[in-house]
Amino acid sequence: MKKLKTLSLLLAVPCLATAAPDARLEQFNNWKFGLFIHWGVCSLASWENSWPLMRPLNKRRPGDTEEFYATLAPKFDPVKFDPDAWVKLAQDSGQRYIVFTAKHLDGFAMWDSLYTDYKITKTPYGKDIVKQLADACHRANMPLGFYYSVADMNHPDYRDTSKRISENWHGEPWRPEWPVYLDYVGLQLTELLTHYGPVAMIWFDGVAPLEEFDGRRFTRLIHELQPDALINNRLGVGGDFDTPEQHNPKGVPTKQVAGSNTDVINKTVAGTVPKAEDFRPWETCQVIDQKNWFYHQDEHIFKSPKELIQLLAVTSSMGGNLLLDVGPGPDGTIRPEFTERLLAMGAWLKVNGDSIYGTTYGPLQNLPFGRSTRKDKTIYLHVFNWPADGKLEVDGLSARITSVKVLAGGAKLVYHQNKDKLEIEVPRQAPDENDSVLAVLTR
């Protein structure tokens, strides 16, 4: 008996240690809204980086060739790039962190990497973009993370670059050069993690098979160089948070469905409210236009401010973060269609930010009129469909309620609670056409 007790005590210690709240993840969860920036030499040609070159030659548009792509870097000269303006835009939009494409699939380094000539300091522009952006972020206290593609179309140790990209874009891990390529990844990550101040996260991306990239090695390296940096889930080894792309999970993600790729999160179950300790942090990355991460000159369909505000509320209601993307143009400016929408989100957040920042998934996951988020004892009701009859009915709230207010302006509302049925008397007119928030304080 005694022996057993000692054993369970021994076992309990490491369990407790891992269950302790992780301050870095808590901070990440509280941020809720970030700016994703996809920018590179491909922005000159309105290309999605190297993706058009993944298609076989006979399926490409005429002129879409490796030779054409090679003409871009020698022309890249974004003279209007103003990192402080980017950071200010993120701040004014209510975004709490930035993730920037330091290196995308094409292998082009947006910093002055010692280990390649395919980099920003060899273009007519000539200055280190990552450095300028990092300095601007640090001046403004804006956390900055780096997107880093482990796939690299330009590197001869990643793939035989005498061949067309369509033939070997998954890389060639069976060649003797592969370990040399992994060393290159390690050296570049070391540069990013040692030359540019605190790094909020390394946001990996790659192409299958991810197991070939030795995720454990790079996780160790990051933990060693910047223990506070978070790591996303795209390196085949789980990471700190999941990254559903261009969509939200159906329900609140839990550790049981944690993924080492972008798809596992689809197994979540709509309507469930997990225990706090089972929650798996996540961030959805989405675009403002229809499908593009990088700048596309002729793109003209964009999500409305209302859609974007509701997307943020829906994401928060399931405990996630929204990493919303812009693709700056070749001159370094962010197009007005993006800035207008981001600033509209910022204006909404100025008034309603309490219902987003620092919240977690709401206790009501099946509301017919909208969504819920929660912070301590306050439940925020995000009402997308405002009731026409002046009565908002909320089912399923068992906690005793002590007040109900309109978050914008603080007007107190009359309510009636009967067991788990709540009826709130609301003004006829929705307080906010995008998302009207009611703050429900519980005992």
Q: Which residues bind ligand GLC (CB under 6 A)?
A: 38, 48-49, 205, 245, 285, 293
Q: Which is nearer to ligand GLC, 38 or 131 (CB)?
A: 38
DSSP character at residue 265: G
Nearest-approach distance from CB 189 to ligand GLC, in angstroms: 17
The number of CA neighbours under 13 Å toward the Cβ of 365 is 18
Nearest-approach distance from CB 49 to ligand GLC, in angstroms: 6
Q: Which is nearer to ligand GLC, 205 or 240 (CB)?
A: 205
What is the secondary structure of 109-144 as a DSSP string? BSS--TT-SSBGGGSSS-S-HHHHHHHHHHHTT--E
Nearest-approach distance from CB 327 to ligand GLC, in angstroms: 10
Tell me the residue ranges of DSSP E strands in 187-330.
Answer: 201-205, 230-231, 283-287, 321-326
Nearest-approach distance from CB 203 to ligand GLC, in angstroms: 8
3-state secondary structure of 241: strand
DSSP character at residue 437: E
Nearest-approach distance from CB 129 to ligand GLC, in angstroms: 17
Q: Which is nearer to ligand GLC, 104 or 382 (CB)?
A: 104
- In whole angstroms, give the CA distance from residue 443 to residue 441: 7
How would you write 293-316 as a 3-class SS string?
A: CCCCCCCCCCCCHHHHHHHHHHHH
Tell me the one-letter amino acid at 355.
S
Q: Which is nearer to ligand GLC, 285 or 367 (CB)?
A: 285
Among candidate residues 121, 43, 41, the one with its CA nearest the CA of residue 326: 43
Q: Which two tokens stand for residue 367?
A: 């509301």
- In whole angstroms, give the CA distance from residue 297 to residue 292: 11
Q: Which is nearer to ligand GLC, 128 or 205 (CB)?
A: 205
Nearest-approach distance from CB 243 to ligand GLC, in angstroms: 7
Q: Which two tokens stand for residue 368?
A: 């017919």
Q: Which is nearer to ligand GLC, 223 or 247 (CB)?
A: 247
Q: Which is nearer to ligand GLC, 226 or 286 (CB)?
A: 286
Nearest-approach distance from CB 50 to ligand GLC, in angstroms: 9
- In whole angstroms, give the CA distance from residue 214 to residue 400: 51
Q: What are phi and psi of 339, to 5 degrees?
A: -65, -40
